[in-house]
A = this chain, B = another copy of it.
Amino acid sequence: MVAAVRYPAGPVRPEQEQHIVESHLRQRGFRWTTQRALIVRMALGTHDHFTAENLLERCRKIAPKVSRATVYRTLAVLEEAGFVAGLDTGGGGRRFEHVLGHEHHDHMVCTVCGRIFEFRDGELERRQEIAARRIGFRIERHSLRIHGTCRACQRAQRGGT
């Protein structure tokens, strides 16, 4: 069990991030290997929602023999430490996103084009807290996913039909 990060939520530059992750892991007795450095760089160097497979491909462009297992194992460490967050988009695979330096947000997934939109509403979080308190549930995290059609796809449907 890796303790979760608690670093300022403001903007963080890539080199800083790399360093934060490195020292966080080192302090907890993890080794900082070539592969981990690469995986962390690729995972935090993007703002999209990637799958483990995506990440593997990106890493292999630079180091062709990085193994799938290492990517999964590193993602698990990063997720537990709170540097990335995994989200099931519904339909088997999970996607991951960069958390460090990004504010918490929820997702709207367009069922037509698959694009993911992020949004945030503090009131939503507050209501959840209230609902949880009512039954004595202690929240660790939550995942709110709204499925529907994005503006562009609605327009395309109207135009195309």
Contact = CB atoms under 8 A, between A and B. Distances in A.
Contact of A142 (B132, B137, B147): B147
B124 A136 contact: no
Interface in A105-119: 108, 110-111, 117, 119
Interface residues of A, number: 35
Contacts of A121: 127, 130-131
Nearest to A128: B146
B127 A108 contact: no
A43 B105 CA distance: 34
Interface of A: 86, 88, 90, 108, 110-111, 117, 119, 121, 123-124, 127-128, 130-132, 134-151, 154
22 contacts: A88-B88, A108-B135, A108-B137, A110-B137, A119-B131, A119-B134, A124-B128, A127-B127, A128-B144, A131-B146, A132-B148, A136-B154, A137-B146, A137-B151, A138-B149, A138-B154, A139-B146, A139-B147, A139-B148, A140-B148, A143-B145, A144-B145
Contacts of A137: 108, 110, 117, 146, 148-151
